[in-house]
Amino acid sequence: MTTATAAARNLPALLQGLYEEGYSGTVRVSGSPGGTIHLRDGLIGAVETPGAPTATSVLLTPGRIDDESWLAACAVERDTERLGAHLVAAGLIGAAELEIVCTAAVFDAAFAMAVGPPGSWTLGDPEPTLLTGSGVAPRRLTEETTRRIVRLSGPWGAPGELARIRPAPVPDAGLRPGLSDRHRSVLSTVNGRRTARDMAFTLGRGLYAIMLDLTRLEARELIRWETGRAADGRPSTAPRVLPGRGAPDAPPTRLTPTGSAPKAAPLPKRTPGGASRPGPGEAQAREGPPGQGPAGGRDAFPGGSSGGHGGL
């Protein structure tokens, strides 16, 4: 157990310690949704979570790269970490665009993990994944995730409450003038059963961007909140396609939910302990403290104590 990992009281502290060590490997985070953080020389090269689309999904779902070309590229370059360079060399995407997509997916996945209940972590050996070109420093990711959480806190409560809302369509909303193509595409997925996560996977867009669009559509009375159905125990209707990128937006001018979303179940208290770094070739990952989370909040990636929220 290294000094940095033993002293980590939460996930951001752990990632910062691993960054200072120049650690390469994976951090698996339990919880809902939980996920896997891929580190290379301390920088975060990818984050994968069931809560948000990955860069691969953002490229394939809307057809930025067609399935046939993608499969052909994977057949030629079987090393996932070198696949991005092959896509660029084959002329399927520009290097700058690919890095933007991959980096946006890192921020979006971190946000998706942060709005759910936290869990424990384990460290493991590096695993192949589609990486960003340069990687993201943990402190930068923490600050941006915190900003997004604060930005999406509203009358419904924390972003985790908004994530459980299943918006219902308003008759003829899509026929109203002045709607952008982006907002029309979101409206096309609103049916009273899908959550923001479902829509993100359906459209191949970032969860954060979808949630922002939903608040703006509700403010314009183009959708209505169906908060009473948020925790009915039904499985997500999102297709299990490959996981999106988020983009900032202007704040809505009016937010009036018709009810309050159910509260999340109580989280387990943190117990003393720490995560240890595995030695080379260790097959058994070592566990971090169970139920590790922010000191005063419910987010998986606490960056501070303001309002009980934080970011990775």
d(C-alpha 256, C-alpha 224), whole Å: 9
Please tell me which residue, 271 or 32, carries the higher pLDDT value: 32
Read off the pLDDT band of 3 (50, 70, 90): low
Residue 268 has pLDDT above 70, yes or no: no
198 DSSP 8-state letter: H
Please tell me which residue, 240 or 156, carries the higher pLDDT value: 156
Mean pLDDT of 184-197: 94
In sequence order, which residues have a C-beta less than 8 Å from that of residue 27 and are 6 or more positions away? 11, 14, 15, 18, 36, 37, 39, 121, 122, 123, 124
Residue 309 structure tokens: 């929220």
Q: Are 116 and 160 in contact (CB under 8 A)?
A: yes
CA atoms lying within 13 Å on the CB side of residue 244: 30
d(C-alpha 196, C-alpha 88), whole Å: 31
d(C-alpha 24, C-alpha 299), whole Å: 25
What pLDDT score does 5 carry?
64
Residue 15 has pLDDT above 90, yes or no: yes
Name the percent of the chain lying above pLDDT 90.
58
Cite the DSSP H helix spans in 30-180.
55-60, 67-76, 80-89, 95-114, 138-151, 159-164
pLDDT digits 0-9 by tens, 56-105: 999 999 999 999 999 999 999 999 999 999 999 999 999 999 999 999 99
Residue 249 has pLDDT above 60, yes or no: no
d(C-alpha 251, C-alpha 83), whole Å: 37
Mean pLDDT of 157-177: 87
Say what the pTM is: 0.73
Strand, helix or coil for residue 89? helix
Average pLDDT of every residue of the chain: 77
In the β-sheet with 121-124, what is the strand arrangement from edge to edge? 43-48, 35-40, 25-29, 121-124, 286-287
Q: Note if the bond before 33 is cis, omega within 30 degrees.
A: yes
Residue from 272, 207, 214 nearest 236 by CA: 207
The least confident of 2-16, 120-134, 228-242 is 228-242
In sequence order, which residues have a C-beta less than 8 Å from that of residue 37 and are 6 or more positions away? 15, 26, 27, 28, 29, 44, 46, 47
What pLDDT score does 172 carry?
83
Read off the pLDDT band of 134 (50, 70, 90): confident
Q: How distant is the alpha carbon of residue 142 from its chain centre? A: 13
What pLDDT score does 259 carry?
39
